[in-house]
Amino acid sequence: MTTTHMWCGHCGDAKREHNHTTCQRPLELEPPRYCTVCRRHMVVELTPHTWTATCPEHGTLSSTSPTPESSADPGTVPLTERQT
């Protein structure tokens, strides 16, 4: 199943509305604050060496999880299966 990433992970605006180059820089250094699939606020947990960001609908992202698409667009990292 292909997931469509319509929202910016930093500002939460639609990706088609404006250029998000100013949003890409912070996403290289910090976790996304919005789910790129559904635009919900993510629950973010920071530790000194890692972070996790969880969407209640789409699952958890982690700074230690493999993110092959993150180098192209840090706001569109794949979401893992929802953990229950």
The residue with greater pLDDT, 72 or 6, is: 6
- Give how many domains the chain has, as a whole number: 1
- Residues 13-39 have a mean pLDDT of 86
pLDDT category, 74, cuts 50, 70, 90? very low
Domain extent, residue 22, equals 1-84
Q: State the pTM of this model.
A: 0.66
Select, from the ranges 4-18, 37-51, 57-71, the one with the highest average predicted confidence (pLDDT). Answer: 37-51
Residue of 18, 47, 38, 25 lying closest to 82 (CA atoms): 38
Q: How many CB atoms lie within 10 A of CB 20?
A: 20
